[in-house]
């Protein structure tokens, strides 16, 4: 078998899978942001007719999966694998969303890096000949994430200015061995990076070094030109994390400032919406990619994009045990060819 590894951590697709459809659903706050016209559906309220926020997150994910399939020429029976997860313990919102779909399911946890992680795994399954069609996606919900990782909303705790707003949103892509659409060319799997930050309200600073590690790995492996990209988008670093990322990369003689943005800065109006440093959560990069970025790729306004979803791998237990925050970033390069 031909070696598909490029350098130490990057894989080049020999038979590049196409992204033949995507779907995105977001909450009402996200629906008031600058990307409001890019999403397939905006919820009227955070419960969406359900009794709990967690059940609302399940429904949002299931609806997004089904919509991604509906927008393609495929049916659920033609999908070989469904890959995804979320932020909540035992990834139960995504798992419960999958229980009625009758599709082989691979549950994954990469915290907020889950969108790119799922796309990486799906692309490798197809390129390796193990599948023809794979659904990859993830979701998050502001109210469920706050309840698990910080404080129940009923307490009304004040957030520090370094905090971010977990996106209520879901995104899903349908990858296929055949079909038209932007193609996955490279994937770079991240390593755990922990710089000793303990503050769960300063996630951008915690995750930025992981983003830097993965971005550097890709460019060292491929010798690619950063300015050949139309866009390099990290997942949810916010204003603090984006600044740190640019500074650390420049220290390594890599300047991506002309093509770099962060999904957490794109999804909200930082001046008009009270989100402090920007958006975060699995649904952040998932909804921005499946909506805004994919639309630009389909229209060929973007022809080469790197999505670097970033995740903080903490848990309520690790926080109570006073552990620092280990982080990861996974990257996927999508091209029009």
The stretch 163-185 carries a mean pLDDT of: 94
Q: How far is C-alpha 165 from the geometric centre of its chain's CA atoms? A: 15
The stretch 154-170 carries a mean pLDDT of: 83
Residue with tokens 């035992």: 90
Residue with tokens 């139960």: 92
pLDDT score at 165: 87
> Percentage helix, strand, coil, to 5, in the chain?
40, 25, 40
324: number of Cβ within 10 Å: 15
For 100, phi then psi, to 5°, come to -100, 5
Report pLDDT digits (tens) over 72-116.
999 999 999 999 999 999 999 999 999 989 999 999 999 999 999
- The rounded distance, in Å, linking the Cα atoms of 111 and 35 is 23
The stretch 189-200 carries a mean pLDDT of: 94
Least confident of 17-31, 112-126, 143-157: 143-157
Does the pLDDT value for residue 130 go beyond 90?
A: yes
Report pLDDT digits (tens) over 31-65.
999 999 999 999 999 999 999 999 999 999 999 99
Does the pLDDT value for residue 155 go beyond 90?
A: no
Given a contact cutoff of 8 angstroms between Cβ atoms, the answer to whether 41 and 210 are in contact is no
Report pLDDT digits (tens) over 262-299.
999 999 999 999 898 999 999 999 999 999 999 999 99
- The rounded distance, in Å, linking the Cα atoms of 119 and 125 is 10
- The rounded distance, in Å, linking the Cα atoms of 202 and 199 is 5
The stretch 9-36 carries a mean pLDDT of: 97
List, in order of start, the domains of the chain with CATH numbers.
1-337 (3.40.47.40)
Report pLDDT digits (tens) over 198-252.
988 888 999 999 999 999 999 999 999 999 999 999 999 999 999 999 999 999 9
Does the pLDDT value for residue 172 go beyond 90?
A: yes
pLDDT score at 2: 60
pLDDT score at 1: 45
Residue 207 token pair: 């995750």
pLDDT score at 156: 73
SS3 60: helix
């Amino acid at each position: 078998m031909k070696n598909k590894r490029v350098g130490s951590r990057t894989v080049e697709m020999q038979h590049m899978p196409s992204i033949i459809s995507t779907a995105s659903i977001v909450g009402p706050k996200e629906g008031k942001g600058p990307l409001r016209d890019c999403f397939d559906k905006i919820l009227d309220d955070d419960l969406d007719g359900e009794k709990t926020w967690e059940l609302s997150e399940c429904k949002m994910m299931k609806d997004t999966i089904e919509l991604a399939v509906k927008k393609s020429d495929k049916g659920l029976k033609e999908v070989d694998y469904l890959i995804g997860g979320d932020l909540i313990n035992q990834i139960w919102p995504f798992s419960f969303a999958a229980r009625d779909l009758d599709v082989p399911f691979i549950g994954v946890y990469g915290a907020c890096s889950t969108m790119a992680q799922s796309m990486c795994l799906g692309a490798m399954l197809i390129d390796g000949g193990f599948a023809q069609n794979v659904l990859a996606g993830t979701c998050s919900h502001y109210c469920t994430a706050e309840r698990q990782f910080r404080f129940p909303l009923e307490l009304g705790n004040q957030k520090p200015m370094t905090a971010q707003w977990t996106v209520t949103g879901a995104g899903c892509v349908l990858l296929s061995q055949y079909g038209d659409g932007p193609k996955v060319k490279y994937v770079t799997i991240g390593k755990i990076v922990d710089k000793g930050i303990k503050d769960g309200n300063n996630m951008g600073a915690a995750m930025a070094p992981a983003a830097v590690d993965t971005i550097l790995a890709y460019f060292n492996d491929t010798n690619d030109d950063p300015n050949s990209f139309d866009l390099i988008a990290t997942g949810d670093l916010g204003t603090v994390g984006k600044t740190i990322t640019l500074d650390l990369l420049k220290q390594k003689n890599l300047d991506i400032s002309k093509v770099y943005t962060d999904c957490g800065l794109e999804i909200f109006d930082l001046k008009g919406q009270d989100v402090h440093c920007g958006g975060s959560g699995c649904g952040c990069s998932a909804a921005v990619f499946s909506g805004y970025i994919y639309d630009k790729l389909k229209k060929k306004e973007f022809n080469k994009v790197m999505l670097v979803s970033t995740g903080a791998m903490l848990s309520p237990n690790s926080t109570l045990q006073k552990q620092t925050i280990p982080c990861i970033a996974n990257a996927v390069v999508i091209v029009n060819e």
